[in-house]
Amino acid sequence: MWYWAARPFTLTASIVPILVGSALAFQEDRAVVHLFVLALIASVLVQIGTNLTDEFSDDAIPEARGQKLIAPYKVIALGLLSNRTVKLGAVLSFALATGIGLYIVAVAGWPILVIALASLFVAYLYAGGPKPLGTVGLGNPLVFVFMGPVMVMGAYYVHVREITMDAFLVSVPVACLVTAILVANDLRDLEEDRVAGKTTPVTLFGRPFGRLLFTALVVGAFVAAPLLATVGGLGLWLLLSGVALYPAYGSLRKIWGEESRPSFAVAMRNSARLHWWFGVTFAAGLVLGRL
């Protein structure tokens, strides 16, 4: 029950930015292992809290209840967990993340406090509150900024106590691919989102625009990697991320293929796999670049 409520298949989105930011710090011989582990745990807890918030927020909207199958089933809609229990789970997740965050702040300084508070605030408002930001057209830019530059640069800052242009640049492909997951989700849920009154780029401009946006984000990530490896001087090991071209092809083939919910659902799973494999190999390239 809690397994599906937490939506474990989404957690790579919270892991990859920490891997990449910490890998850059490692390349510079400035990584601190225990801070990496704590930042990773806190990031996953925030993601779980956000997912649980989305779960009980969807249940509060009659039009969305039982329709948006982000997990194989909705645990509240099926009576597996109560709304109150899921809310408590979300609060506990955010509270644990806050506790870990306070320790990291004590070690790394107040800028991490600002990042952590902003991330928690946005995470809650994205899926909860009187008017969830994810329903009013702000989902894509918020995901791009907070699960790209903010998280990658925040993870990097935890280790080195400063922000550099390299930290921002390596966050861009991460931001592109995590946003692509959301676009695939929007393509899949177009009809349900329109019924629920949710605003996304796809509900505003249609599926053709969504397909183009998805393609631009994926291509952008794979253009950024070789540029960072060569022009950016971060080392040719970054080209390891080319391993992710295979899941990229699978995602694009589904996005541009049959226009059906099952097809877009497969595209969403493929895009999450793409984000994971690109992120892991990109981070590995940064680590190997130190050798």
Q: CATH no. for residue 171?
A: 1.10.600
* Residue span of the structural domain in which 176 resides: 2-285
In a domain, 239, yes or no: yes
In a domain, 270, yes or no: yes
In a domain, 120, yes or no: yes
Our count of domains for the chain comes to: 1
What six digits make up the tokens of 30?
């400035």
CB contact at 8 A, 71 and 52: no
The radius of gyration of the chain's CA atoms, rounded to the nearest angstrom, is 19
In a domain, 265, yes or no: yes
In a domain, 90, yes or no: yes
* CA atoms within a 13 Å half-sphere pointing along the CA-CB vector of 45: 20
**Residue showing tokens 């605003």:** 199
- In 3-state terms, what secondary structure has residue 136? strand
Reference 178, options 265, 274, 281, 43; nearest CA is: 274
Phi, psi at 7, each rounded to 5°: 55, 65
In a domain, 81, yes or no: yes
What Cα–Cα distance (Å) separates residue 140 from each residue in 58, 74, 180, 184, 268? 18, 23, 9, 11, 15
In a domain, 241, yes or no: yes
In a domain, 290, yes or no: no
Q: What is the full per-residue pLDDT of the chain (291 aa) written as tens digits? A: 777 777 887 889 899 999 999 999 999 999 999 999 999 999 999 889 888 887 776 655 555 554 554 444 567 666 667 778 888 988 999 999 989 999 999 999 999 999 888 887 887 788 776 788 888 989 999 999 999 999 999 999 999 999 999 999 999 999 999 999 999 999 999 998 998 889 999 999 999 999 999 999 999 999 999 999 999 999 999 999 999 999 999 999 999 998 888 889 899 999 999 999 999 999 999 999 987
What six digits make up the tokens of 190?
């177009």
The pTM of the full predicted model, rounded to 2 decimals, is 0.89
